[in-house]
Amino acid sequence: MTRLVAGNWKMNGSLAANRDLLDGLVSIPGMEMAVCVPYPYLAQAQERPAGVVLGAQDVSEYAVGAYTGEVSAAMLVEFGCRYAIVGHSERRALFGEDDATVGRKARAAMQAGLVPIVCVGETLAERDEGRVMEVIGRQLDAVREVLGPVAIGRIVLAYEPVWAIGTGRSASVAQVAEVHAGIRAWLNVHGAAGGVRILYGGSVKPDNAAAIFAVADVDGGLIGGASLAAADFMAICRAAAGGV
């Protein structure tokens, strides 16, 4: 399975900074590299190095209509996007998106030809209560309910422990292995394990990327802060490609 490393720029960037960042990226054989940029920079990011795939950080659940401020999946496709992140913990926590909304966004993305990167993960309180797979299972069930048993096998999943996003903390290798194995088991039960890539997202950096990517069932990464520096992002991508 080809590993995917997707950079989530979040609400960062400027025309000048973006140009420098994009110019510093070079595709690496044996892995897939994507950048998920803010909506206003999709046009600029169309001029990116060959082999670097474009993605969006969110997508509307609606196809068209009177939804001021929303951006449809069809619009993203017109800009050359292949991926759209849905259900990122910041969208869930800060903007009130629930599990059902995430499922509908994933469906809208797929109906337009995008691949949704569906984010799942637990808070620190939920981990301390021993409810990690209960929470993730609930999040996955909601997406499967909307997509159905066949389409769920065509998404990308990203496990992001909420307590490790933007905090500088990363889950231990053992914690990553346990949860990714649990997600793979859930996929197996629902007949979707074979082609679904499971990314890890939670303070991945050049110095811990190789250890994280060595874990079974880790098929790449969803990278936040480290994707804003070309050298760091390239180092993570090289780790995903096996140190090329």
Q: Which residues are catalytic?
A: 88, 160
- Indicate the DSSP class of residue 114: P
Comparing CA positions, the residue from 162, 153, 157, 209 lying closest to residue 183 is 157
Distance CA 191, CA 39 (A): 34
C-alpha dist (Å) from residue 79 to 54, 72, 218: 9, 11, 29
Following CA atoms 59, 63, 64, 70 in sequence, which dihedral angle do they give, to the nearest 10 degrees?
-10
Spell out the residues 6+ positions from residue 19 whose beta carbon is closer than 8 angstroms to its own.
44
**If 0-12 CB within 10 Å is exposed, 13-18 middle and 19+ buried, where does residue 121 land?**
buried
